[in-house]
């Protein structure tokens, strides 16, 4: 039965039920309720909760838990996620499975407390030093966030990589009806440390970066081939296709419905995986489409880059790609509709 629950609490409870048994983190708005909830909930299930002295320590405690094969995770926002980057690239490099929850807030530097999507490019390009990519999942609702927490842990285990749940401040703070999953049986990854050196590893001075590069590309290609997820509607018949994720994606879906009711031939793609980017969806797009439009909660337009690259790769045509970056917040359906008209009327120019 669906119950009203706050987004951050739902994510926390879902992680417990999907077998997470170590959480370490540091308070920061708008993600703090996750650690508050886990501070009492994790001990109830015999798991580890540590309020770390810093974001750096928190992510490194996650590394310790993950190295022992235990489902481990952390959450943060804004500059907190920036601080975790050295740990995230280390998790990837050591092929440790872990989940990072980014409750995105707006701004550079210390930033603000507004809900936003300004971390898109950082999350989808790895974020820390090196060449890696993390799996990035972006929910539009609390129910979807709960389901994606489970998927994040499963994919992290399957590919021995980092999975990021890229949610948004508003989604963390708001309440919605949500059905929580059943408890799964917790078990340790077979490659986790047991003190007996059961799982042999290549010594740090015996590594072969050329071979590892081949394996890394194979891993990335497997994830791209198997794990693209999205929602779409009316792509085959559309003059204009909207692309948006998360809460702005949900708003865009509403705007698309209204525009269709008013006789406009529009469709949408809502990426659920931001990386791997859902390129497959673009194969369904009307080859005579007049343009693609991203709706984003950031200042400069970030998603538009992936859309333009995918149009080039999949549609092989010079189709205009527009961006509607609303800086922060969740754009109203009427705002999206009004800006759509401006695009059709040539008042807003394409980005690519």
Partner 1 sequence: MAKARKIPKIIEKPSSFCPGCGHGIAIRLIAECLEELGQDENIIFGIGVGCSSLLGGVLETDRLHCLHGRASAVCTGMKRVSPENIVISYQGDGDAYSIGLSETTNAAYRNENITVITVNNTNFGMTGGQMSSTTLQGQKTTTSPNGRDCSITGSPIKFPELVAQQFNVAYVARGSVTSPAKINKLKGYIKNALEAQINGEGYSVVEILSPCPTNWGMTPLQAFEKIDNEIVKEFPIGEFKKREGK
What are the residues binding partner 1 (CB under 8 A)? Answer: 21-22, 24, 48, 50, 52-54, 56-58, 60-68, 70, 72, 86-87, 90, 94, 193-197, 199, 203-206
Q: Of 21 and 105, which has the nearer Cβ to partner 1?
A: 21
Q: Of 62 and 266, which has the nearer Cβ to partner 1?
A: 62
Q: Of 204 and 210, which has the nearer Cβ to partner 1?
A: 204
* Count of CB atoms situated within 10 Å of the CB of 340: 24
Q: Measured between alpha carbons, how far is residue 85 from residues 89, 162, 260, 296, 331 in Å?
A: 6, 11, 42, 23, 29
User: Using CA atoms in the order 292, 298, 300, 304, what is the torsion angle rounded to 10 degrees?
Assistant: -20
The answer to whether the Cα torsion of 101, 309, 296, 176 is positive or negative is negative
Q: Of 67 and 180, which has the nearer Cβ to partner 1?
A: 67
Q: Of 40 and 197, which has the nearer Cβ to partner 1?
A: 197
Q: Return d(Cα 169, Cα 167) in angstroms, integer.
A: 7
Asked if 182 and 41 count as a contact pair (C-beta separation under 8 A), the reply is no
Q: Of 183 and 199, which has the nearer Cβ to partner 1?
A: 199
Find the shortest distance in angstroms from Cβ 163 to partner 1: 18
Q: Of 57 and 113, which has the nearer Cβ to partner 1?
A: 57
Find the shortest distance in angstroms from Cβ 35 to partner 1: 15
Find the shortest distance in angstroms from Cβ 19 to partner 1: 13
Residue of 324, 296, 291, 325 whose CA lies nearest to 308: 291
Q: Of 163 and 295, which has the nearer Cβ to partner 1?
A: 163
Q: Of 72 and 273, which has the nearer Cβ to partner 1?
A: 72
Q: Return d(Cα 308, Cα 194) in angstroms, integer.
A: 47
Find the shortest distance in angstroms from Cβ 49 to partner 1: 9
Find the shortest distance in angstroms from Cβ 105 to partner 1: 24
Q: Of 59 and 281, which has the nearer Cβ to partner 1?
A: 59
């Amino acid at each position: 039965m669906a119950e009203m629950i706050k987004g951050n609490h739902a994510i926390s409870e879902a992680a417990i039920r999907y077998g997470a048994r170590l959480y370490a983190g540091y308070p920061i708005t708008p993600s703090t309720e996750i650690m508050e909830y886990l501070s009492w909930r994790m001990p109830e299930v015999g798991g580890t909760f540590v309020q770390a002295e810093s974001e750096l320590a928190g992510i490194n405690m996650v590394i310790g838990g993950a190295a022992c094969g235990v489902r481990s995770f952390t959450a943060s926002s804004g500059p907190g996620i920036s601080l975790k980057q050295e740990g995230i690239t280390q998790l990837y490099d050591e092929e440790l499975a872990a989940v990072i929850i980014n409750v995105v807030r707006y701004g550079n530097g210390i930033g603000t407390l507004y809900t936003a999507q300004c971390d898109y490019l950082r999350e989808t390009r790895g974020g820390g030093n090196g060449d890696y990519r993390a799996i990035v999942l972006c929910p539009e609702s609390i129910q979807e966030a709960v389901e994606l927490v489970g998927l994040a842990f499963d994919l992290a285990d399957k590919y021995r990589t980092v999975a990021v749940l890229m949610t948004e401040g508003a989604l963390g703070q708001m309440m919605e009806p949500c059905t929580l999953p059943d408890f799964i049986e917790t078990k340790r990854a077979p490659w986790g440390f047991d003190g007996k050196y059961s799982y042999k590893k290549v010594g740090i001075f015996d590594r072969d970066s050329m071979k590892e590069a081949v394996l890394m590309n194979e891993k990335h290609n497997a994830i791209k081939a198997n794990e693209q997820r999205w929602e779409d509607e009316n792509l085959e018949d559309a003059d204009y296709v909207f692309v948006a994720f998360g809460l702005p994606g949900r708003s865009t879906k509403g705007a698309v419905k209204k525009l269709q009711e008013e006789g406009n031939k529009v469709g949408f793609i809502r990426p659920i995986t931001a990386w791997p980017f859902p390129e497959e969806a673009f194969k369904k797009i009307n080859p005579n489409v007049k343009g693609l439009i991203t709706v984003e909660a950031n200042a400069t337009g970030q998603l538009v880059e992936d859309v333009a690259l995918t149009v080039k790769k999949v549609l092989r045509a010079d189709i205009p790609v527009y961006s509607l970056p609303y800086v922060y917040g969740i754009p109203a359906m009427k705002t999206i509709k009004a800006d759509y008209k401006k695009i059709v009327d040539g008042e807003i120019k394409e980005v690519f």
